[in-house]
Structure 1
Amino acid sequence: MAAPRITASPSAWRRLQDDVQGLLTGTLFAALGIYLMKCAGLVPGGLVGLALLLHYASGLDLGAVFFAINAPFYLLAWTRMGRAFTFRTAIAVSLLSLLTWWLPQAVTLQQIDGALAAVLGGLLCGAGMLIIFRHGASLGGLNVLVLRLQDRLGWPAGKTQMVLDALIVLGGGWYVGDARRLALSVLAVVAVNLALVYNHRPGRYQPV
């Protein structure tokens, strides 16, 4: 008697296709936002800002830096968010690292206003993160850490995230030594968080 064949249901294939296009779209949006901010020399908050700061200081490839600094957070994500979330997050981070490396070779940007880079780059990053959240993943980083600190030490996640973001932005401002760029980096952080605050709400994505 032949062994039964195991096939994925049509709904599983549709869900897989939905997740694939979602992760590709979200990471492309985020990578484009990071590219705009990089062209303007900005340092927003989060691990994106930390990766940009390390990139400016060391000259190492931005995509490689972003991938490397995210690696320690996978263990935290595994214990806090579960296997499926961690797997999707690892895919999203890998895609973002690859796209961050590829975009400067595919697009040449000769000039961009710093304010436009902060607002448009921040909104693109926020929109990309929203799409990725919608598909059960994240871009890794500090949000997993602050949730872990809240669980273990009782530190409020929102305030802890704000302090860490502020330290990264201030570190970037100190490194570049430019008050205008520091202000624009703060504007970029505001743009990212506005996109998240006004759109990432329970029930927002429920079908009508």
Structure 2
Amino acid sequence: MMHGALQPQTVQGNRQVSVKPHSFLDDTYGIAVGVLFVVMGVLLLQAAGLITGGVAGISLLASYTTGHSVGLLFMLINLPFFLFGYLFMGWRFTAKSLVGSVLIMTLLKLIPNGLVIGHVDPMVAALGGGTFCGMGILALARHGAGVGGTGIVTLWLQKKYGINAGRTQVLIDAVILLAALAIVEPVLVGWSSLSAIAMSSMVMAWHRPGRYFGN
């Protein structure tokens, strides 16, 4: 069984260097920041009627068609993926991801009580929301967690086979956006595509094995 934490070694040039694992406080703070980024990104996208890639996009799309809370849908859609995470990424990764998802669900319910977004241009929502979500995913990944859903699968593929998580996410996002054409106006799907590109680009550019120290 694979474990969510990276091995406490990395390579600099031709030297293998021992690195210090993240402490519990490091992980707590990193996951909290990642959760906040994801939540703010989803709220921006929701205010403009957009979606994005991954489980966040699926949850937004489902909320538009069912009227249910995006936070609740986010949690429910994630449940089968947590089982996958437990089997293939280890209990520690799954536990951290579960905590992160519960926090995301809770904040998506609470923050709108104190933050009301009256208007946001679709381009701003797409670029800002997608980038925020991508930064949140990146922060969670660097502390041995994921936002759940397709993110768990892409991180596993990168860890197991070295397939870049961002590129895999782009392919998954394309399927989600094509499905959205049946529900969301084409122009909004176009802006949503920009948000998905912004989100995946963050992961593609920055989540590379050996780039970071700690686990």
- 2 CA distance for matches of 1:21 and 1:147? 21
- How many equivalent residue pairs? 192
Q: Given that residues 76 and 148 in structure 1 are in contact (C-alpha distance below 8 angstroms), is that contact kept between their aligned partners in structure 2? A: no
Q: Percentage identity across aligned positions?
A: 35
**1:88 and 2:96 aligned:** yes
Higher Rg: 1
Q: Given that residues 89 and 156 in structure 2 are in contact (C-alpha distance below 8 angstroms), is that contact kept between their aligned partners in structure 1? A: no
TM-score norm. by structure 1 comes to: 0.83
- 2 CA distance for matches of 1:147 and 1:21? 21
Q: Given that residues 43 and 52 in structure 1 are in contact (C-alpha distance below 8 angstroms), is that contact kept between their aligned partners in structure 2? A: yes
Q: Which residue of 2 aligns with 1:72?
A: 80
Note the residue ranges of structure 1 that are not aligned, 5 or more in a row.
1-10
Q: Given that residues 97 and 145 in structure 2 are in contact (C-alpha distance below 8 angstroms), is that contact kept between their aligned partners in structure 1? A: yes
- 2 CA distance for matches of 1:147 and 1:115? 28
Q: 1:148 to 1:192 in 2, by over 3 A?
A: closer
Q: Which residue of 2 aligns with 1:129?
A: 137
Structure 2 letter corresponding to 1:171: A
1:49 to 50, 53, 57: 57
Shift of 1:171: 2.0
SS at match of 1:132: helix
Shift of 1:202: 2.5
Higher percent of residues as helix = 1
1:168 to 165, 176, 180: 176
Q: 1:195 to 1:92 in 2, by over 3 A?
A: same
SS at match of 2:49: coil
Q: Which residue of 1 aligns with 2:13?
A: none
Alpha-carbon displacement from aligned partner over 1:58-113 (angstroms, at most 9, x marks no partner): 11011111001101111110111001101101001111111111121110111100
Q: Given that residues 173 and 181 in structure 1 are in contact (C-alpha distance below 8 angstroms), is that contact kept between their aligned partners in structure 2? A: no
SS at match of 1:174: coil
Q: Which residue of 2 aligns with 1:106?
A: 114
- 1 CA distance for matches of 2:124 and 2:156? 35
SS at match of 1:189: helix
Q: Which residue of 1 aligns with 2:193?
A: 186
Shift of 1:164: 3.1
1:202 to 184, 206, 209: 209
Shift of 1:42: 0.7
Note the residue ranges of structure 2 that are not aligned, 5 or more in a row.
1-19
- 2 CA distance for matches of 1:74 and 1:118? 28
Q: 1:149 to 1:28 in 2, by over 3 A?
A: closer
